[in-house]
Structure 1
């Protein structure tokens, strides 16, 4: 079995992109860390022929939802109420408009797009993650891409 450090180095960027797509760039690093902590505990028992990337994306999906739920329950004190809502985007990636458009998608569409186009998972595996059929996962992905294209074009135009 490969050293776990090699698994993190190889699949870490994909897991981070999936976490960002599922819960946004602000909480993605927490979900990424939780994913690899959980994976480290289970890695010794992983079958040798397992699809490691799909396994990690499944864990990332669950951990991202957990982190999102935990953060949603936690109050966020502020000194003053902002005049306008803050824009959630990761300035480090250079595409805050794309992340904002992705966040605007309905949950299942956003997740289907992320799992298929970022993590490269087939629709049969996405269906298992989303709790629907492969056809429904394919439809959610297609609808999500269509809406993402229209949102991103609208927001990125001057």
Structure 2
């Protein structure tokens, strides 16, 4: 089995990795998460046994790096209010017209938020979302469906 040169992978998917890193980790950590994902991908690349779905493999690494960054931040940031530890992380998204949508996405339960971001920002299918979250495709569909239902309900309440 022959893998393409790693630079070809970077050239083809750098935008996807960066976009997902910023969506999951926020504007402050997005670049660091993307860099960490590329570093981990480079280290693991020679051990890959299949060239199938390299994009999904990269986005799974990016998701895991973002979750690691959130865990590390929670361990190192001093919190004046213990309740702030349970608040959803800020999800970075487009500014202005969609700011309220991204705020509602950030307020979703963690697993739903991750599933929605992987599905719609990462543009992954449910099999890839499931692999990234360590669940089944059926659960991925359920998480996304529940999240969308909540977002629709929130949007109707705002009208």
The answer, yes or no, to whether TM exceeds 0.5 is: yes
Counterparts of residues 113-132 of structure 1 (less than 5 Å): 113-132=116-135
Q: Which runs of 4+ in 1 moved over 6 A?
A: none
CA contact (8 A) 2:91 2:106 kept: no
Matched residue, 1:19: 21
Asked if residue 34 in structure 1 is aligned to residue 28 in structure 2, the reply is no
User: Which whole-Å CA distance do the structure 1 matches of 2:94 and 2:121 have between them?
Assistant: 18
Change (3 A) 1:90 1:57: closer
Which of residues 8, 11, 28 in structure 2 aligns to 1:9?
Answer: 11
CA contact (8 A) 2:91 2:103 kept: yes
Asked if residue 67 in structure 1 is aligned to residue 69 in structure 2, the reply is yes
User: Which whole-Å CA distance do the structure 1 matches of 2:102 and 2:78 have between them?
Assistant: 22
- Structure 2: which 5+ residue stretches go unaligned? 80-89
Question: 1:96 Cα deviation (Å)?
Answer: 3.0
Change (3 A) 1:31 1:154: farther
State the TM-score, normalizing by the size of structure 2. 0.75
CA contact (8 A) 1:109 1:141 kept: yes
- Cα RMSD after superposing both structures: 2.8
Asked if residue 138 in structure 1 is aligned to residue 152 in structure 2, the reply is no
Matched residue, 1:57: 59
- Structure 1: which 5+ residue stretches go unaligned? 78-87
User: Which whole-Å CA distance do the structure 2 matches of 1:15 and 1:8 have between them?
Assistant: 9
CA contact (8 A) 1:21 1:99 kept: no
Change (3 A) 1:151 1:26: farther
User: Which whole-Å CA distance do the structure 2 matches of 1:91 and 1:110 have between them?
Assistant: 13
CA contact (8 A) 2:59 2:122 kept: yes
Change (3 A) 1:98 1:5: farther
| TM-superposition CA deviations, 1:12-66 (whole Å, max 9, x none) | 2222222233333332222111100101111223235321101001111111111
| TM-superposition CA deviations, 1:66-113 (whole Å, max 9, x none) | 111111111259xxxxxxxxxx57587444333222211111111111
